[in-house]
Amino acid sequence: MITPPPHTSDEAHRLETLASLRVLDTPAEDRFDRITRLAQRVFDVPIALVSLVDASREWFKSCQGLLTSEIPRNISFCQHALLQPGSTVVTDTLKDPRFENNPLVTGDPFIRFYAGHPLRATDGSPVGTLSIVDRRPRRVQEGDLQTLRDLAHLAENELHVMRLSQGQLDLVSELKEAQRKAFTDGLTRLWNRAGILEILQRELGRALASKQPIGVLMLDVDDFKRINDTYGHPAGDVALRECAHRLRMAVRPQDAVGRYGGDEFLILMADCDLQQAETAAAHVSAAVGAVGITHQGKKIRLTISCGAAASGPARTSLDALIQAADAALYRSKRGSSPDARLRLGGLQAEIEHQRKVVGGLP
């Protein structure tokens, strides 16, 4: 039997503060993923999380090592960490009466070690945790706890800075929890087709009013059917998740990335003209194709084709902009092989980098 800890002393205020951050049920962002990846490497653990604790669940803003996006609050380890002023460490869950019968201990992911530090809003309310998890018992030194605290403070700072574009912010603010979930893709944790098109419509209206262009990238995974047919659909899922991860890393924090359908993705970039969109297309192509993926010990090559378009006098509607990006993608796929596209993308990205280094060559 599991006995959950009591709620915080002012739970209603805590939940109100958490909601005001406008982070719950938003797509994954690389600024948080960088922190959990670093925690995973530094501590050599299989699982690292940035979690937010809602009324009935623990939701993962960033998660390394687990495929789920949330767990019930009544079995959450992080709800215990919320009540502590400092870090919470459980060296061996099977020797702790609070957790020995927890289904996360007795079953997958078989947690044996947990350490978490609370994340606080600007008013001091604990809203979540940065946590590391291992499947074997372990002890930590004071230096380890200081590193955990430092990483938690980095994650906390990111919670206080909203970096989504205005169109994404507006959408998140207007939607309730269930509606936000309906606009995100469960596999890749990006916006789904409905979500990215809604954001594009909002950003396009804002761009037309301000007379500033917006850029759109349409891309798909090369030979995706071959990956599925050769290695199986689980490998295809790994490829899509890895592609989504690399796309988030390759774009600006405020850019919106969505899974348009199947193996297609769409990226929306505010204040971006056609030349900038084409440069971004080369950059993301090179980023995705830089390193292959591994699934069950097998190396799989991963490259993409990408087309760029931007709003303008001839493209003032959502349909026109999408069609232009789709046509550019079609030209990209017909114009060269994946090898040539990858080499071209890397070359263009390097040229742009050198331009910035020397101060902006024409």
Give, rounded to a whole angstrom, the gap between the first and last alpha carbons of the chain: 69
Asked if residue 355 lies in contact with residue 276, where contact means CB atoms within 8 angstroms, the answer is no
**Tokens matching residue 156:** 């906390």
Q: Among this protein's residues, is 44 annotated catalytic?
A: no
How many helices (H) and strands (E) are present in the chain, helices listed first?
13, 12
User: What DSSP line would sit under 19-74, residue for residue?
Assistant: HHT--TTPPP-HHHHHHHHHHHHHHT-SEEEEEEE-SSEEEEEEEES---SEEEGG
CA distance 44 to 51: 19
CA distances to 10, 214, 225 from 243, rounded to whole Å, are 41, 23, 15
Q: Which of 33, 220, 255, 263 is catalytic?
A: 263
Sheet holding 214-221, edge to edge: 256-261, 264-270, 214-221, 304-310
DSSP state, residue 318: H
What angle do the packed helices 274-289 and 233-250 form, to 10 degrees?
A: 130
- The burial of 176, by beta-carbon neighbours within 10 Å (0-12 exposed, 13-18 middle, 19 or more buried), is given as exposed
Residues with catalytic annotation? Answer: 263
